[in-house]
Chain A
């Protein structure tokens, strides 16, 4: 367990204003000044995380969500901000192998964590099978929810494989079957405003290797 982190103090009086939040959280260049022990605790923190197999050390305003850290500090803009309240799933990434809403967690809470974003799954010329299947089945229209849908879909197949039950699993003491009903229920945290759901399902089902 790490001890409370002691970092530099940076313009706390300015940070109190919520109006400047978006500006401040998006700026890594907050000039930090040294702080003597026992002084007031800082509103910025340094955090080190491994994103797509690469270690990054950043200094963030404590308010910075993991989503904003990825997009604004690391310039990994594949992960999208939809609702910013954990309702739409556009910001879904994998942290320590599990899918979460990156908008509802603070960057500072992920010291040392391994994070995989859509950029880490695959890239043009070397797509992840799920990315390729979304392209093949036209699993999107505007594409804004797509990175979240793909990260979630990859995780859903892993969760079924790991035997994690769902709301529609009829016998929760047995392994969950790999069915479209299971996939649909497990994808309910990812909203598609364009309504590309049937094509998204086709893509996931193809990767899952089932027509159940």
Chain B
């Protein structure tokens, strides 16, 4: 028999404007372990939540550098070291001819960095999450806006936090439980 533990609370809002102002207040209260869930990226919500800039650009830059290095090394090694051949009387290391492949590989690995870096930073895929136990939470991919505050936040207090969310304009507030074995 699985024990049920309180994971946190979930508050539903109707409009981007409501959640925007709610997030500003929660940020100013000083909560740390909380999140907003929206059907689309609400413009400016990241600053209303006080989020730090994304780390993804660094991963993309690393990917691009790796791709460029791999491209030039592959071409140098196969055309100069492993299988040198005189083609049209050109030097073995004809770097101008190596530009297209180097460029394409930089782009390829930069794209890998962007996609897999984004998924990695977001810890996706995560198929199981306490929020998915809420039936109402399904609206997050349709037309509803949610704030979730986790019980592990030092400022969390079941009763007070729910009251605060109601005051911030939430149309519905519920507890979210997680199952433990």
Whether A associates with B in a native complex is no
Residues of B whose CB lies within 8 Å of any CB of A are none
